[in-house]
Copies of this chain bind each other. A is one copy, B any other.
Amino acid sequence: MKALVTTEDSGFGLRMADVPEPEPRPGQALVEVRAVAVNRGELSMMAMLPPGSQLGWDIAGTVLRPAADGSGPAAGTRVTGLADGAGWSELAAADTARLTPVPDDLDWTAATAIPVVGLTALYALRHAGLLLGRTVLVTGAGGGVGRMAVQLAAASGARVVAWVGSAERAKGLRELGAAAVSTYDAEETGPVDVLVDSVGGQVLNRAYRLVVPGGKVIVYGNTTRSELNLPVDWGHARPGVQLRYVHLFHELPAHPVTRDLGFLVQRVADGLLDPQVATVAPWTDAEPALRALAQRQVNGKVVLTI
């Protein structure tokens, strides 16, 4: 079967290859993949893995062979979820605990754009507690997780302030529920109860200064690859403040993933959550879309159709 694998030969680091079919473990279903979504985390991994490595978490497709242990969806079920790291492939193995059914009226491109960004945003916000009546500042709000976090925080009753790196990145954020959109302007923002950051560096430093005593800072990325730097009174001026680094694959074992992902999928199917698919390309011509994603020029998700 065909799969995208890392290579040192081509321009962007991926090539199509013939690879052996995956051998699912007892708790894994074998999925015939129809579409995958690309995350910045995978771009980072591409650079680190040896040539010939497979990649890919987000998949959507049809169950070809259900799990041997009897768990999860039956053969023929349309599903989306997290493959076990080799999803950019015609066939992928996935833990049934990380799959959820997809309604017939939801297309593959929307379905595959949900798992990584939706669950990351959902689990990040869960650490903030009840958001009703709170102000939530989302930095890097123009990206995939950022756009999910804006929508999910707004749906939780929060006033959401979205910070983006440029006016271009702000497109559509008000429609997604942001009460205010700003290019990292602290003066416009005012005090915030919850800060959700993925930028790091000076943006995090500036945003942090707005956090109130007892506030919560949830970080899920560091796109500027900066040291963490906060002002001298970072704690003393904010007794009880909490800072937490959330990583999706560390969170998963603590949550009912099938149910949570099912909630997100249904919300998308109902038109209440927009997965913000920005670019769809055939997987045979992925390079331009991946390049744009690496350069943070994509306002949402890159999806590859198989």
Contact = CB atoms under 8 A, between A and B. Distances in A.
Interface of A: 213-214, 219, 222, 225-232, 234-236, 238-247, 249-251
Given A242-B243, A245-B241, A231 B227 contact: yes
Most buried by B among A213, A214, A222, A232: A232
A253 to B, nearest CB: 11
Nearest to A244: B242
Nearest to A233: B222
Nearest to A217: B243
B219 A235 contact: yes
Contacts of A238: 245
A218 to B, nearest CB: 10
Given A222-B235, A227-B231, A228-B229, A244 B241 contact: yes
B228 A236 contact: no
A243 to B, nearest CB: 4
A245 B236 contact: yes
A267 to B, nearest CB: 26
Nearest to A237: B245
Question: What 7 A-B pairs have minimum CB-CB distances, sorted nearest first?
Answer: A235-B245, A239-B247, A239-B250, A228-B230, A243-B243, A228-B234, A242-B244
A231 to B, nearest CB: 6
Contacts of A246: 239-240
Given A228-B228, A229-B228, A250-B214, A234 B245 contact: yes
Nearest to A250: B239
B229 A239 contact: no
Contacts of A225: 232
Contacts of A241: 244-245
B243 A239 contact: no
30 contacts: A213-B250, A219-B235, A222-B232, A222-B235, A222-B236, A225-B232, A226-B232, A227-B229, A227-B230, A227-B231, A227-B234, A228-B230, A228-B231, A234-B245, A235-B245, A235-B247, A236-B245, A239-B246, A239-B247, A239-B250, A239-B251, A240-B244, A240-B247, A240-B251, A241-B244, A241-B245, A242-B243, A242-B244, A242-B245, A243-B243
Contacts of A250: 213-214, 239-240
A250 B212 CA distance: 13
Contacts of A214: 250
Nearest to A242: B244
A41 to B, nearest CB: 10
Given A238-B245, A240-B251, 9 more contacts: A228-B229, A228-B235, A235-B245, A239-B246, A240-B246, A240-B247, A240-B250, A242-B242, A242-B245
A14 to B, nearest CB: 23
A178 B24 CA distance: 49
A78 B256 CA distance: 53
